[in-house]
């Protein structure tokens, strides 16, 4: 009966519209909450991640520190925390380095000159790795994986018990192998070669500039 009056009708329409918007907002929020809870249950059953797993998410390397029904805390290697919604690990791809086992291979790529003594560097890598406390004693090797215009690409491979030790082992290999090359074979460091024709062209170009000035 009251809806007969224009003012009452307008007021009632406003209330209904507000209620509709509020219901829509509540519905969306509830949908997200329910999706998060379902993702939490799904992770609990499938277990794609577990506490202390080593993962790479959003380009960051870290360990799973806490798992709840709504979010996951990843402790980044430089001691910061990355907090992600639980459904992130259901909807987006990520790397889990310790899904089945904690053993992780560490890979280091190094560019050297074509004159580099690869066999000697392979022996030096073995010596470095065997002396390291981060190596798990399983895998070590050095291969030439590519030949570029002016350098060879070497891949040093060594295994570690977990992701943290693998990262430290990679840093140790890179530092000590480069130091060995610099000290014992500095001519094997990457360099740019220039033929005689190239040098003549450069000298002519420089002479032309001098005459012009």
Tens digit of each residue's pLDDT, the chain (213 residues)? 444 445 544 554 555 455 555 554 445 444 555 655 665 567 667 678 888 888 889 888 888 999 988 899 999 877 899 999 988 888 899 988 777 666 677 889 999 999 999 999 999 999 999 999 999 998 899 999 999 888 999 999 999 988 788 889 999 999 999 999 999 999 999 987 666 555 556 555 555 655 555
Q: Which tokens is 111 given? A: 């560019």
Res 204: pLDDT? 59
The total of other beta-carbon atoms located within 10 Å of residue 55's CB is 22
As assigned by CATH, the class of the 104-188 domain is alpha beta
Query: CA-to-CA distance for 159 and 87, rounded, in angstroms?
Result: 32
What is the enclosing helix (H) or strand (E) of 90?
Answer: helix 88-91
CB of 56 closer than 8 Å to CB of 49: no
Q: Do residues 120 and 181 lie in contact, with contact meaning Cβ atoms separated by under 8 Å? A: no
Asked if 1-100 and 104-188 have one fold, the answer is no
Give the residue extent of every domain in the chain: 1-100, 104-188
Rounded-to-integer distance, Cα 134 and Cα 191, Å? 32
Residue 2 has what pLDDT? 41
Q: What is the pLDDT of residue 26?
A: 47
Q: Domain 1-100: which topology?
A: SH3 type barrels. (2.30.30)
Q: Which residue has the tokens 């507000």?
A: 18
What is the predicted pLDDT for the residue at 114?
Answer: 94
């Amino acid at each position: 009966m009251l809806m007969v009056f224009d003012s009452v009708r307008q007021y009632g329409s406003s209330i209904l519209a507000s209620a509709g918007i509020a219901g829509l907002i509540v519905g969306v929020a509830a949908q997200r909450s329910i999706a998060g809870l379902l993702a939490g249950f799904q992770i609990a059953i499938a277990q794609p991640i577990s506490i202390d797993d080593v993962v790479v998410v959003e380009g960051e390397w870290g360990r799973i520190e806490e798992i709840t029904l709504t979010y996951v805390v990843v402790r980044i290697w430089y001691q910061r925390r990355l907090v992600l919604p639980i459904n992130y690990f259901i909807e987006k791809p990520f790397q889990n380095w310790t899904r089945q086992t904690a053993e992780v291979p560490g890979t280091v790529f190094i560019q050297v000159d074509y004159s580099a003594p690869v066999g000697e560097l392979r022996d030096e890598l073995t010596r470095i790795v065997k002396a390291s406390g981060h190596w798990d004693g399983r895998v070590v090797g050095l291969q030439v994986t590519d030949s570029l215009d002016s350098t060879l690409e070497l891949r040093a491979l060594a295994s570690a018990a977990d992701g943290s030790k693998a990262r430290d082992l990679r840093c140790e290999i890179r530092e000590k192998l480069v130091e060995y090359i610099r000290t014992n074979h500095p001519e094997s460091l990457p360099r740019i070669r220039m033929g005689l024709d190239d040098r003549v062209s450069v000298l002519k170009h420089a002479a032309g500039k001098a005459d012009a000035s």
